[in-house]
Amino acid sequence: MKGTIVNFRLSRHNQKPNHIIIQVEGVSSRADAEKLVGKKVSWTAPGKKKTTIEGKIQSPHGNSGALRAVFEKGLPGQSLGKTVEIQ
């Protein structure tokens, strides 16, 4: 299953680089999003090294099917708008 990285989790003064908001294809409600909580997520960096950063879906974000995932390391800004793989 694939999803798109929408943004980092933000507060008024801070940005949390290892907390990511993801929109998944085909998920459009909070009830559908709650079924994906606990699944693993991975993002693979472009380039020769193909570095993979893994995380876990923690909770739904809002009522339109977005998810909040926590990664082991912070993701770089170039990951915004790219796809992630959900197992």
Residues of the chain with pLDDT under 50: none
Phi, psi of 22 (to 5 degrees): -125, 135
What's the whole-model pTM score? 0.90
- Please tell me the CATH superfamily of domain 2-86, with its number: translation elongation factor selb, chain A, domain 4 (2.40.10.190)
pLDDT tens-digit series, residues 26-37: 999 999 999 999
* Domain range annotation of the chain: 2-86
**What is the three-class DSSP state of 34?**
helix
C-alpha to C-alpha distances, 75 to 17, 27, 28, 67, 69, nearest whole angstrom: 6, 23, 25, 16, 11
Unique residue bearing structure tokens 């977005």: 66
